[in-house]
């Protein structure tokens, strides 16, 4: 699988990093000086954050190749992502060159924020091949891609977008600026008026969003949130109650304040006062760490982007036993930033979680899975001794190797060793004792023969 990135600025670099980290080979073309260094910085940042969204390790990253021409970049691509500047003349030139050299069945997607497919396709060799796949910055973390264009091309595009961990939002009717940016434009216009009229500063507007509705939007969006605002009577009641206020002359959404030098200076000065103490790099780091933590927070309740990440985890989980140094691999994952404590390393409670996940892998492999628990049997942990040997840092990939001791009646003893995957340093060890339980009495009991023999088989496999 190979993706071609044409234009590796803020957006193209983000696409390239996402494709590569999801296991695709990536070829890149960008004519500007310094594009490669800028891409490498984005890729390094993405390596720290994207893998941390998941509970299992991602496939090996794909190979990244820099090309000197569009022709070489697209020759073998299955997906081509155009992220050149937002000017039709440039995009037309780029599409003509791409289509002269790319496979006819490749998806050719544009990152354009504003143009519709019918505009992009004018004069094209194969118009239907060109669709819009509009992402959000940072592309390697935010999982939305708005897809607009030919139905057949989109049918081929959707599974690829899903494969790289994104939600393909198919917009059935083309419209300038698609859906999400129209929405942002409305908010942006209102914010400009609030600053222009001296009602609020840039910081006050940001606070209105981040302390309030911004947190709601990330998990329930607009309509589901408003449904709750209508109380038990729901959406109908909400619209009856608040609908008439739309007639009030509150907003100036159809107008834009004139962007005079004074207004631009006011906004820039307020923004400097608000955020000037931090570099763009500092702010990007904070943004990415917060995004990882927020998306991860949505996983347990299967909401929004969290539910999407859970689906990818299901794809990544190993359904059969795998071995490393002749030992059973029970956890292989990247340490997420929200597991870090004030010392800058993984909090001790998370070691317990890693070893608990390791035990769950053993139990799943021997058939004591969720269905078995529902049928009335389970294992409870009754003792666990953990040794912390070395610091475990966020962004590191770790592997947990587990030795299964002979099953003694109702008892199962597991010895775990958590190692840093890059150099095999032992970070922590644990000795864990589990007891088989009859869930109807919640008392210890002998495991059924199929579980006992599956455990014996696993133990012999590691020997
Ligand atoms: N910045 C955003 O937040 C954002 C979000 C979604 C979509 N987009 C869209 O993505 C596209 C790229 O935006 P960006 O913000 O990454 O811009 P950018 O200026 O950061 O990057 C554009 C890149 O294209 C390169 N380039 C210039 N001419 C080229 C050519 N002929 N062939 C190949 N590459 C060429 C430039 O060297 C530059 O690296 C635009 O269409 C924009 O609307 C931007």
Dist. CA 263 → ligand 1 center (Å): 27
Residue-level pLDDT at 236: 84
Q: What sign for the dihedral angle of Cα 124, 1, 138, 173? A: positive
The protein residue whose alpha carbon is closest to atom 11 in ligand 1 is 83
On whether the CB atoms of residues 16 and 139 are closer than 8 A, the answer is no
Dist. CA 111 → ligand 1 center (Å): 8
Q: How many CB atoms lie within 10 A of CB 140?
A: 28
Determine the atom of ligand 1 nearest the C-alpha atom of 30: 34
Determine the atom of ligand 1 nearest the C-alpha atom of 32: 37
Residue from 6, 7, 72, 135 to probe ligand 1 pocket by mutation (most atoms less than 8 Å from CB): 7
Task: Give the pair of three-digit tokens for residue 461.
Answer: 């496999």
The protein residue whose alpha carbon is closest to atom 25 in ligand 1 is 7
Dist. CA 43 → ligand 1 center (Å): 16
Domain boundaries, the chain: 2-179, 181-297, 318-462
Dist. CA 112 → ligand 1 center (Å): 8
The protein residue whose alpha carbon is closest to atom 28 in ligand 1 is 84
Task: Give the pair of three-digit tokens for residue 111.
Answer: 């990152």
Dist. CA 455 → ligand 1 center (Å): 55
Residue-level pLDDT at 407: 75
Q: In a structure prediction context, what are the per-residue pLDDT tens digits for the chain, which is 463 residues long?
A: 899 999 999 999 999 999 999 999 999 999 999 999 999 999 999 998 999 999 999 999 999 999 999 999 999 999 999 999 999 999 999 999 999 999 999 999 999 999 999 999 999 999 999 999 999 999 999 999 999 999 999 999 999 999 999 999 999 999 999 999 999 999 999 999 999 999 999 999 999 999 999 999 999 999 999 888 888 888 888 888 877 777 776 777 778 889 999 999 999 999 999 999 999 999 999 999 999 999 999 999 999 999 999 999 999 987 777 888 888 999 999 999 989 999 999 999 999 999 999 999 999 999 999 999 999 999 999 999 999 999 999 999 999 999 998 778 899 999 999 999 999 999 999 999 999 999 999 999 999 999 999 998 888 877 6
Assign a CATH topology to domain 2-179. Answer: Rossmann fold (3.40.50)
Residue-level pLDDT at 249: 67
Determine the atom of ligand 1 nearest the C-alpha atom of 135: 6
Residue-level pLDDT at 419: 98
- What secondary structure does DSSP assign to 295-331, as a single string? HHHTTTTT-HHHHHHHHHHHHHS-SS-EEETTEEEEE
The protein residue whose alpha carbon is closest to atom 18 in ligand 1 is 9
Distances (CA, A) of 254 to 103, 186, 187, 352, 444: 44, 9, 12, 56, 70
Distances (CA, A) of 373 to 30, 364, 367, 378, 440: 54, 11, 10, 5, 11
The protein residue whose alpha carbon is closest to atom 39 in ligand 1 is 9
On whether the CB atoms of residues 289 and 49 are closer than 8 A, the answer is yes
The protein residue whose alpha carbon is closest to atom 41 in ligand 1 is 112
Dist. CA 292 → ligand 1 center (Å): 25
- What secondary structure does DSSP assign to 248-299, as a single string? STT--TT------HHHHHHHHHHHHHHHTTS-HHHHHHHHHHHHHHHHHHTT
- Any residues with CB less than 8 A from the CB of 240 and at least 6 apart, and which? none
CATH 3.10.129.10 assigned to domain 318-462? The reply is yes
On whether the CB atoms of residues 390 and 461 are closer than 8 A, the answer is no
Task: Give the pair of three-digit tokens for residue 112.
Answer: 């354009």
The protein residue whose alpha carbon is closest to atom 5 in ligand 1 is 136
User: What is the CB < 6 Å shell around ligand 1?
Assistant: 6-12, 29-32, 35, 83-86, 90, 94, 111-113, 134-135, 137
User: Which SS3 state, helix, strand or coil, does residue 93 take?
Assistant: helix
**CATH class in words for 181-297:** mainly alpha
Residue-level pLDDT at 68: 96
Residue-level pLDDT at 234: 81
Of 178, 130, 176, whose CA–CA distance to 154 is shortest?
130
Dist. CA 8 → ligand 1 center (Å): 7
Of 304, 301, 286, whose CA–CA distance to 210 is shortest?
286
Dist. CA 178 → ligand 1 center (Å): 17
On whether the CB atoms of residues 409 and 417 are closer than 8 A, the answer is no
Of 53, 65, 52, whose CA–CA distance to 25 is shortest?
65
Determine the atom of ligand 1 nearest the C-alpha atom of 31: 37
Dist. CA 84 → ligand 1 center (Å): 4
Q: Which residue has the tokens 């006062």?
A: 273
On whether the CB atoms of residues 113 and 37 are closer than 8 A, the answer is no
Determine the atom of ligand 1 nearest the C-alpha atom of 110: 41
Dist. CA 295 → ligand 1 center (Å): 26
Determine the atom of ligand 1 nearest the C-alpha atom of 6: 33
Residue-level pLDDT at 238: 83
């Amino acid at each position: 699988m190979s993706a071609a990135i044409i234009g590796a600025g803020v957006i193209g670099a983000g696409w390239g990093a996402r494709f590569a980290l999801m296991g695709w080979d990536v070829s890149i073309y960008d004519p500007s000086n310094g594009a490669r260094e800028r891409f490498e910085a984005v890729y390094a940042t993405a390596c720290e954050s994207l893998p941390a969204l998941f509970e299992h390790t991602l496939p090996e990253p794909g190979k990244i190749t820099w090309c000197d021409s569009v022709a070489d970049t697209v020759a073998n691509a299955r997906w081509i992502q155009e992220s050149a500047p937002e000017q039709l003349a440039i995009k037309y030139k780029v599409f003509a060159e791409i289509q002269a050299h790319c496979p006819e069945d490749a998806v050719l997607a544009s990152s354009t924020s504003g143009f519709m497919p019918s505009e992009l396709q004018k004069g094209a060799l194969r118009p239907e091949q060109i669709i819009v796949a509009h992402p959000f910055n940072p592309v390697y973390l935010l999982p939305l891609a708005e897809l607009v264009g030919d139905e057949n091309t989109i049918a081929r595009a959707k599974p690829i977008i899903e494969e790289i961990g994104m939600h393909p939002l198919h917009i059935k009717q083309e419209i300038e600026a698609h859906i999400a940016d129209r929405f942002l434009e409305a908010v942006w216009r209102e914010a400009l008026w609030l600053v222009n009229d001296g009602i609020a500063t840039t910081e006050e507007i940001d606070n209105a969003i981040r302390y309030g509705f911004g947190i709601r939007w990330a998990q329930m969006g607009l309509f589901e949130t408003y449904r709750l605002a209508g109380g038990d009577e729901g959406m109908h009641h909400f619209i009856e109650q608040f609908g008439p206020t739309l007639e009030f002359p509150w907003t100036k959404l159809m107008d834009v304040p004139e962007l005079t030098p004074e207004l631009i200076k006011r906004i820039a000065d307020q923004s400097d006062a608000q955020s000037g103490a931090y570099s763009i790099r500092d702010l990007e780091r904070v943004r990415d760490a917060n995004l990882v933590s927020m998306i991860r927070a949505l996983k347990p309740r299967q909401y929004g982007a969290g539910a999407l990440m859970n689906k990818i985890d299901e794809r990544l989980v190993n359904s059969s036993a795998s071995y490393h140094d002749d030992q059973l691999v029970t956890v292989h994952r990247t340490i997420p930033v929200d597991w870090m404590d004030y010392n800058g390393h993984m909090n001790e409670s998370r070691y317990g979680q890693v070893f608990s996940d390791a035990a769950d892998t053993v139990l799943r492999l021997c058939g004591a899975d969720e269905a078995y628990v529902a049928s009335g049997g389970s294992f409870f942990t009754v003792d666990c001794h953990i040794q912390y040997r070395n610091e475990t840092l966020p962004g590191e990939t770790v592997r947990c190797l587990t030795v299964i001791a002979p099953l003694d009646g109702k008892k199962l003893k597991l010895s775990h060793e958590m190692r840093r995957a890059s150099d095999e340093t032992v970070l922590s060890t644990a000795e864990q004792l589990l007891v088989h339980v009859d869930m109807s009495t919640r008392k210890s009991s002998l495991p059924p023969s199929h579980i006992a023999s599956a455990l014996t088989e696993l133990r012999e496999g590691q020997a």
